Amino acid sequence: MHEAFIQAYFLKKDETIERVEQQEQLFVATIVKKTARTFRKVAYLKLTMNTEFTSPLPKKLTSYKFTPNAKRTLHETNDTIQQWLQQGWIVREIRYHTDGISVKEDYYRIGPAYIEAQQKSEQQQFAKQQQQMQALKQKAEKLALPELFQQAIEWNMLPEQWTMKKRMKYIEFCLAFYALSLQKELFDFKEIGAALHDTIGGSKVFDQEREVFLAQLEQSGIDPMLYGLVSIGKIVPIYFTGNVQNNVATYAIGAVHATTDNAVLTSPFTTTNTTLWLVENRAILTRIAVETEFLRQTNSCIVCLDGQIRSAHKQFIEQLLQSAIEQTIIWTDTDSAGITIAKYAAELVKGTVKIVGRDYELYHSIESFTAQEQEAHEQEQQLGGIEQWIKWM
C-alpha cells in the first residue's frame, strides 16, 4: 500500500487514512478528518495496487502537464483512464462536502508511477549535466583559456537568475567563441554555432541568447570585436551626423547618416570635428542635425547611442576620439538606464567630458553627475535650442 505516498501528496491537516479496500484491481482509500470535535469522511482515493513500475510514461498523458498539486479533468475513454489508474500514472481523488455524502470535487492527480518516472528523469538529467560539465572543463583546459575567459566562465560569476542549462550553454558558447577566434581572424556570429555543431541548423544554436551572451561577455571585460567578431548575425546601425570619413566613404553635416558594425570593424573612421556629442535618443540627433549652422560653427559631431552602448558604438566612438576631438558632451535620460549609459560613455572618453543633467545642469565629471540625485526624465523634456547647446560648450 502506498501509505507514504498518500501522506506526502494527498492528506491535509488532521486527515488520516481510515481504511483501504480492494476494488476492481485498484486500492480505494477512505480519508477521514479527525479532531477533538470532528470525525467525518472527507475523500476517497482510487490508486494502483502495483508497487513496481516499468512501463514507459504514456505520451498522451504528458499533454496534461501533471505536477504534484495539479488537479486535472481527463478527456480520455474510460478504458484509457482505467489503464492509467492501474499502471499508477494517475490517482482519482473524490472530495466530499462537510456532510461526508455529497461530492464536492472529482478529479485526477499525479500517481506514484508518474512521480517515480519524474525522479528517474531528474536523476538522469543531473547525471547528463555532470558529464557535460566535465566535458566542458576538459575542453577549457585543452584550450588553455586566457585569464579573462577563465573568469568569464566561472560559475559564481554568472547571473544568479540563469538556470543550470543556460549557464552551461553560455560556457559552451564562450569556449566555442574562443576556439573559433584562434582559427580565424574574422568571423560572423553564426559561425560560432556552425563550427560547434556540424549539422543543419547548427549556425542558429546560439541565436536565441545572442544579445544576452554577448552582453555578458562584454560585462566580463571581453570585447568580441577584438577577437574577430565581424558581425553578430544581424546589421547593427550606428546613426550620426558630422564631418566623418573612412577609406570607403565621406560624410558631411546637414543630414543624419548611418553606418554598420561591419564597416566600423573593417575600416576605421576619423573626424575633423573637435566636439563630440553622445546622445541617448534619436530624437535629439535628428533635432540637432537640422541645425547645420550650429554644427558648423561649433565644429560638432553627434553620435546616437540608441539606448545602449553596443560593441559597434564603442568601437566607432573610440575611433573618433583618436581624431581631432577635444571635448565630449554626454546627454542621456536621467533614469537609471540613462545614468548607466552615461557611465559607460564616460569610461570611453580620454579628454574633457561634460555630462548634461536635469534642469540644464552641466557636470564636468561622471562622479559629480552620479553624486547628484537626478530625478528621472527624458532628454526630450529639456531639449532646449541653439542658445542652450552653446552654453554647454
Model confidence at 145, pLDDT cuts 50, 70, 90, reads confident
Q: What is the mean pLDDT of residues 111-127?
A: 89
Rounded Cα distance between 324 and 80, Å, is 79
Q: How many CB atoms lie within 10 A of CB 96?
A: 17
C-alpha cell read off for 37? 470535535
pLDDT, tens digit, for every residue of 16-57?
A: 999 888 888 899 999 999 888 888 898 999 999 888 888 888
Q: Is residue 278 a contact partner of residue 327, using CB atoms and an 8 Å limit?
A: no
Helix, strand, or coil here: 268?
Answer: coil
pLDDT, tens digit, for every residue of 302-323?
A: 999 988 787 788 889 999 999 9
DSSP one-letter code for 187: E
The H-or-E segment that residue 45 falls in is strand 39-48
Tell how far CA 14 is from the center of its chain. 44
**pLDDT surpasses 80 at 265:** no
Rounded Cα distance between 334 and 344, Å, is 14
Sign of CA dihedral 285, 287, 292, 296: negative
Q: Is residue 246 a contact partner of residue 236, using CB atoms and an 8 Å limit?
A: no
- Residues facing 376 on adjacent strands: none
Closest by CA position to 171, among listed 149, 197, 146: 149
Model confidence at 243, pLDDT cuts 50, 70, 90, reads very high
What average pLDDT is seen over the chain?
87
Helix, strand, or coil here: 148?
Answer: helix
Rounded Cα distance between 271 and 321, Å, is 8
Q: What is the largest CA-CA distance in the chain?
A: 96
**pLDDT surpasses 60 at 232:** yes
